[in-house]
Amino acid sequence: MTPSVGILAIQGDVAAHARALAKAGARAVPVLREKDLDGLAALILPGGESTTISKGMDRLALWEPLREFAASGRPVLGTCAGAILLARAVEHHPVPTLGLLDALAVRNAYGTQVDSFSAPVDKGAKKGLEGLRCVFIRAPQLEELGLEVETLARVEGRPVLIRQANLWAATFHPELTPDTRLHELLLS
Ligand code: GLN
C-alpha cells in the first residue's frame, strides 16, 4: 500500500516536497487541520519562513495536534524552517516552536538570501546518504545538541541532518535536488 505522508501546508516548499515524495513512492497529503493528520505514516514540516508558519500554526490551532502526532512515534522531518519549528530553542529572531528536538536553532546563521549555497555532505555521513548534495537557503545552524540527538550528516563540520528518535531535522532543502534518498529514508 502506498504510504500517505503529510506536509504542513501553511507556507513554504510544499509542492517540491510533494514531488519528492511521489518519486520516493508515497502519497503527499497537505496538512492544514487536525483531521488531515489521520492515517498519515509520516509528516514533513517544510522549509519556508518559520515566523509565517508559526503564526499559521496559531491561527489553525495546530500546535497540540502536531505535538500529539510526534508523540505517536511516527517520523517527523523538519527541513530548514521546519527544523527551526522542531527545536527546543531559537536564537537570532526567536520564534515559537514545538520544542520537541533537543537542539538550539540559530536562524539565518550562514547570512542572507545571497549567501545561499549548495554543498555535498562531509565524509562519514550516515550509510546511504554518502555524497548527498545539500541546498542551503538562509539556512539555520543546529547547536547545543542534546545527548539523545544523533548527527547523521555534516557539511563543513557542522551538523546539517540530525535525528532524535522519530524526529528528523535537516537545515537544507532535500526536496530541491533530484536525490530523494532522505525522503526514502523517512519512509523506511
Ligand atoms: N530563514 C528562514 C527562517 O528562519 C528559513 C529558510 C528556509 O526555510 N529556507 O525561517
Per-residue three-class SS string for 49-110: CHHHHHHHHHHCCCHHHHHHHHHCCCCEEEECHHHHHHEEEEECCCCCCCCCEEEEEECCCC
The Å distance, Cα 24 to ligand 1 centre, comes to 24
Sign of CA dihedral 57, 165, 188, 20: positive
Measuring from atom 1 of ligand 1, which residue has the nearest CA? 138
Measured from the CA of 51, which atom of ligand 1 is nearest? 10
How far apart, in whole angstroms, are the C-alpha atoms of residue 68 and residue 71? 5
The Å distance, Cα 47 to ligand 1 centre, comes to 6
pLDDT in tens, the chain (188 residues): 899 999 999 999 999 999 999 999 999 999 999 999 999 999 999 999 999 999 999 999 999 999 999 999 999 999 999 999 999 999 999 999 999 999 999 999 998 766 789 999 999 999 999 999 999 999 999 999 999 999 999 999 999 999 999 999 999 999 999 999 999 999 99
Could you list the active site residues?
80, 173, 175
Write out residues with Cβ below 6 Å of ligand 1: 47-50, 80-81, 84, 107-108, 137-138
Secondary structure (3-state) at 115: helix
How far apart, in whole angstroms, are the C-alpha atoms of residue 30 and residue 70? 17
The Å distance, Cα 166 to ligand 1 centre, comes to 22
pTM attached to this predicted model? 0.96
4-187 fold? Rossmann fold (3.40.50)
Q: Which of 52, 84, 97 maximizes ligand 1 atoms within 8 Å of its Cβ, making it the mutation to test the pocket?
A: 84
Secondary structure (3-state) at 20: helix
The Å distance, Cα 112 to ligand 1 centre, comes to 10
